[in-house]
Chain A
């Protein structure tokens, strides 16, 4: 395969707010693929070295990201409102919606001191990374989202939460978010 590497030559001065990235869309694409391969390799190496501990490490990283991302969000006791806000923060690369079977009335189900909601992740960078590197879903990298959601929920609602993977597919993944009322 012919590879042409173009060197960029010019003058560079220190700048307070950089305006140019020095690359075009193809450079971004190239960088994204390298990053996907890099993250995929890291994930499988982590699993090889740490076994099931890999899930906990990635979960913790996701949780930290979730707490950080949700710091700017408005605090609420309403799970549906929290999820809508989180959707905006997670953005288009983790595009999700609440989901319910056709016969169910509302999105949330109350079970004692727990509230349960099904969340359908449609666009997911993690899934794309796994497919890029040929890794199975439900592995350590999926725990990044698990941690992210739990971290964000804990930050916004100040309560404990957990996210279980119900089903994974190439186009969408269904997860159950459970929050437990009654403090941290």
Chain B
């Protein structure tokens, strides 16, 4: 089963993940105005919430991590030296 962790300190409460998720996995907490996970069972681990989150506040565990053969390791090596 997918486990989703929200870093409440990082979450800015923009609600982008709530709008983006097609399976209504997230909901805004009315009191804290932070994202909360309400329906993790329906998460299909597409990770579009990761892509849309401006503060990288989410962590998904126990998911199939798709291969990332598109990553250019030579470019990453150069970036690592700069950043």
Contacts and interface: CB of A to CB of B under 8 A. Distances in A.
B10 interface: no
Contacts of B30: none
Interface in B14-57: 22-23, 39, 41-42, 44-48, 50-51
Interface residues of B, number: 24
Given A101-B23, A102-B41, A170 B47 contact: yes
Contact of B70 (A128, A167, A169): A128
A171 B63 contact: yes
B46 A167 contact: yes
Contacts of B46: 167-174
A77 interface: no
A95 B67 CA distance: 10
B27 to A, nearest CB: 16
Interface of B: 22-23, 39, 41-42, 44-48, 50-51, 63-70, 72-74, 78
Interface of A: 1, 29, 32-33, 36, 95, 99, 101-102, 120, 122-125, 127-129, 131-132, 166-174
15 contacts: A29-B73, A32-B69, A33-B72, A99-B44, A122-B64, A123-B66, A132-B70, A167-B46, A168-B48, A169-B46, A169-B48, A170-B51, A172-B46, A172-B47, A174-B44
